[in-house]
Structure 1
Amino acid sequence: MYTSDKVVVRSRDQTRTLPLTGLDFSSFQTTWEKNNSYQLDFTSFDDGSESFNLLTVENSIFWNGQEYIIKQATDGYAQGIHTVQVTATHVFYQLNARRQNNVNKGDATYNIWGALSFLTSDVTDYSFDVVGDLNSTQTITDFGNCSIMDGLSTISSSFGVYAIVPDNKHIVLYSEANFVKATRKAFFYQNNSSDISLQYDSSTIVNRVQVVSTSDTPQFSPFYVTDDDSIKQWGLCDGERVENDKDNNTSASAATAKRKLVPVPSLSLTLSTQTEDVQMGEQWTLVIPESDIKTAVQVVSIVDTPFIPHNTQVTLNNTRQNF
């Protein structure tokens, strides 16, 4: 019943599991955006089936091997037709409603596994994994008393996690090197892609971060971690300082400051493509012959209508060297 080409609905108590027969296939849309959203949206017609009656909040939708939880269900009645519009988020986001109520007061030093172990000590129905070189030791202040999702966000920013990717209830934290997959595939404007827009944003540039010792007796003099090329090209843009109240380990603090640098404007590219085999984390080549553009880009968002072929919206980010 759980096949990749079938939409299945299951009751929250798991006593009823049925194929969804009244689906409006043209409305079925999947959305994935790195570290931000992973959901389904669709409309279903009242065909008198039990599966239609299961389209209520907190019941599950299964599609392409993944479980989603119905969060919004809107009944509509027009011209004698009863429909339900559904938004279902990936089961990963159920962790918004789970908490670590304990707190490690003050500053505590963790590696990433230690932080995960503390945060998820009561979340026994989910599993977690770390892929890539994320082996630094970091200080987190007053960690706890938060939702699991907020705690994962804290861990991500502290340890430089690039992407969090769920496979149902198995959650994987990736480094950038282990998430981005180089390919030989290309988006060609006016060939397999159209409606390309490029948006530049300089508001996020950070090219200088101060490191300070905040111990009662300072362990070292304040210093800056900078990107001189960025300062020369874009001007000075300070970021939030890095504080060390533990020791004189300036190398670890400098590494933390370096992760905060954003030396170039962000560039977001959005396009429509007839290519269907686009996967999260892939690196493609974008070619726009009219502007002599040929640049490496990374897939960071996919909006797809799987029952309508050749209709995918993709958002891409390019890499620093392209500037």
Structure 2
Amino acid sequence: MTLRYRVLPVIQLLLVFRLFILTNQVVTVMKRDGTLNEPLQSLIKPTFNVSWENNSTYQITFTAYSDNSIAYALLVSENIIMWRGQQFVIKQSVPNYSARYATVAITATHIYLDVRKIYQHNKKAGTLTYSVRDVLAFYLDNNSFGYSYDVQGSFPNQQITDLGGNNAFEGLSQIVSTWPDAMVYPDNKKIVVYSKDAFTKNFGNRLGYGYNSDNMTLTYDSTALVNQLTVISGTKEDGSVWFQPHVINDQTSISEYGVIDGGDFSDDRFHDVNAADDAARAKLVTEPAITIALDYLDNDEPVAGEVRRLEVLETGFVTNVMVVAYTYYPLDLNQKTSLTLNSNQQTVLDYQRSTLNILNQAKQNTLALSTAIKDANDKLNVLTSDGVWYTYGGNTNG
């Protein structure tokens, strides 16, 4: 009896856990008004994928076949796909009829992207100073669509000119362009703006070419480089200035890539020359960007913002990278997950270090080959004093 009472709770726990897993894997279709919510049994599992890209895409796509079910009938525009507790709104529904089979291809975007339905008709004219929360409040406070918001992490106040007169999604775009480190990530209709530090998470996992990736591409892009700016003072009420125009730059970057001038920097908030220079230096882009794309061979679900240790042992490239985009096939583990990884200054430095190692090794290999060739020629050919070449092996050429 004692054993029975000890085992039963464990069995119940396992059953609950199994039920959670099964429920977590179920795709359901819900009518837009919430009156129906049906499991989609006719989903063609290998076609189901989830795609996310930081501050850009968050969607699911799949194909289902006609089984005359209510769920299949609900696969029309603006109805809701439920996946792991998140809502995705059907934006494209493409029926196809072939070989007497009816199917429909679905593209559904995360419901947070429907925040564009909120239009802010008011406009705050002029250049004013805002926090991230100020911008969110201006667009989302008292909206009739049920959207809420939060801010995680610290952001300095910034100036924005003529805020408003557009929809709330464009308001989010304004945040991302004003605060480049901002990352927008939703929980259904709750929109959270994270700082990069607040968004990243590290579980001690790693990525390795030849270990859990068999296809990796590194894109090294210097398009956005700016290593010099001219700092211009704002004007006082009497028309005079606080400080004279002057140049700030990054000599390390210039020595590596040459002068790449970004023009003038001017911000009326800064009356102190040191504060203005610090703000201008924050705008410099002193190193090229690196984007790393790879096929991931493990089956665990990608985590947005996860930091992993990346290793390419053949080149000595070892660095920490952050997941900034993925395409994942959760219902077909035979299909590879695609990951896109971030670029930061340390990543660039690590890449440059590995490239320098490759260059040095190539130079050493070239020197060794040249030495070997010279030694071989010296052994094969001997020039005598009478101008006749003697070649080892008994042949003589005159």
Q: TM-score, normalised by structure 2?
A: 0.76
Following TM superposition, where does structure 1 have runs of at least 4 consecutive aligned residues deviating by more than 6 angstroms?
none
Aligned equivalents of 1:23, 1:239: Cα separation in 2: 52
Aligned residue pairs: how many? 322
Residue 228 of structure 1 pairs with residue 248 of structure 2: no
Match among 321, 328, 338 for residue 313 of structure 1: 338
Which residue of 2 is the match for residue 60 of structure 1?
80
Residue 189 of structure 1 pairs with residue 213 of structure 2: no
Which residue of 2 is the match for residue 294 of structure 1?
318
Shift of 1:122: 4.4
Verify the 8 A CA contact 1:100 1:148 in the aligned structure 2: yes
Verify the 8 A CA contact 1:162 1:179 in the aligned structure 2: no
Aligned AA for 2:44?
Answer: D
**Secondary structure, aligned partner of 1:210:** strand
Gaps of 5+ in 2: 1-19, 350-398
Of 203-212 and 27-36, deviating more is 203-212
| CA shift digits 1:128-166 (9 cap, x unpaired) | 1111121x2222111111221111221233234431111
Match among 162, 175, 185 for residue 165 of structure 1: 185
Q: Which of the pair is proportionally richer in strand?
A: 1
Counterparts in 2 of 1:74-113, with a 5 A limit? 74-113=94-133
Of 253-262 and 21-30, deviating more is 253-262
Gaps of 5+ in 1: none
| CA shift digits 1:214-269 (9 cap, x unpaired) | 43543332344433222221122233643323561555544543343222111111
Higher radius of gyration, 1 or 2: 2
Verify the 8 A CA contact 2:200 2:307 in the aligned structure 1: yes
| CA shift digits 1:77-118 (9 cap, x unpaired) | 111111110110000110223221100111112222222222
Aligned equivalents of 1:211, 1:156: Cα separation in 2: 24
Aligned equivalents of 2:55, 2:302: Cα separation in 1: 17
Shift of 1:20: 0.9
Of 180-189 and 1-10, deviating more is 1-10
Aligned equivalents of 1:144, 1:81: Cα separation in 2: 49
Aligned equivalents of 1:145, 1:241: Cα separation in 2: 28
Verify the 8 A CA contact 1:207 1:236 in the aligned structure 2: yes
Which residue of 2 is the match for residue 206 of structure 1?
226
Q: TM-score, normalised by structure 1?
A: 0.92
**Secondary structure, aligned partner of 1:156:** helix
Match among 180, 186, 195 for residue 200 of structure 2: 180
Of 207-216 and 176-185, deviating more is 207-216
Verify the 8 A CA contact 1:160 1:175 in the aligned structure 2: no
**Secondary structure, aligned partner of 1:183:** strand
Which residue of 1 is the match for residue 161 of structure 2?
141
| CA shift digits 1:268-312 (9 cap, x unpaired) | 111111222431111111112222222211111110000111521
Which residue of 1 is the match for residue 147 of structure 2?
126
Aligned equivalents of 1:122, 1:108: Cα separation in 2: 22
Verify the 8 A CA contact 2:175 2:182 in the aligned structure 1: no
Residue 39 of structure 1 pairs with residue 59 of structure 2: yes
Aligned equivalents of 2:230, 2:72: Cα separation in 1: 58
Aligned equivalents of 1:142, 1:243: Cα separation in 2: 18
Check 1:251–1:111 CA distance in 2 against 1; reply closer, same or farther (3 A cut). Answer: farther
Aligned equivalents of 2:262, 2:175: Cα separation in 1: 19
Which residue of 2 is the match for residue 239 of structure 1?
262
Check 1:247–1:187 CA distance in 2 against 1; reply closer, same or farther (3 A cut). Answer: closer
The higher-RCO structure (CA 8 Å, 6+ apart) is 1
Aligned AA for 1:230?
Answer: S
Aligned AA for 1:245?
Answer: D
Root-mean-square deviation (Å) = 2.1
Check 1:290–1:80 CA distance in 2 against 1; reply closer, same or farther (3 A cut). Answer: same
Check 1:68–1:223 CA distance in 2 against 1; reply closer, same or farther (3 A cut). Answer: farther
Check 1:28–1:297 CA distance in 2 against 1; reply closer, same or farther (3 A cut). Answer: same
Match among 290, 297, 310 for residue 267 of structure 1: 290
Which residue of 1 is the match for residue 304 of structure 2?
280
Verify the 8 A CA contact 2:118 2:168 in the aligned structure 1: yes
Of 212-221 and 298-307, deviating more is 212-221
Check 1:210–1:4 CA distance in 2 against 1; reply closer, same or farther (3 A cut). Answer: farther
Aligned equivalents of 1:150, 1:99: Cα separation in 2: 9
Which residue of 2 is the match for residue 12 of structure 1?
32
Of 281-290 and 56-65, deviating more is 281-290
**Secondary structure, aligned partner of 1:221:** coil
Aligned equivalents of 2:337, 2:220: Cα separation in 1: 22
Verify the 8 A CA contact 2:44 2:63 in the aligned structure 1: yes
Of 119-128 and 149-158, deviating more is 119-128
Check 1:224–1:16 CA distance in 2 against 1; reply closer, same or farther (3 A cut). Answer: farther
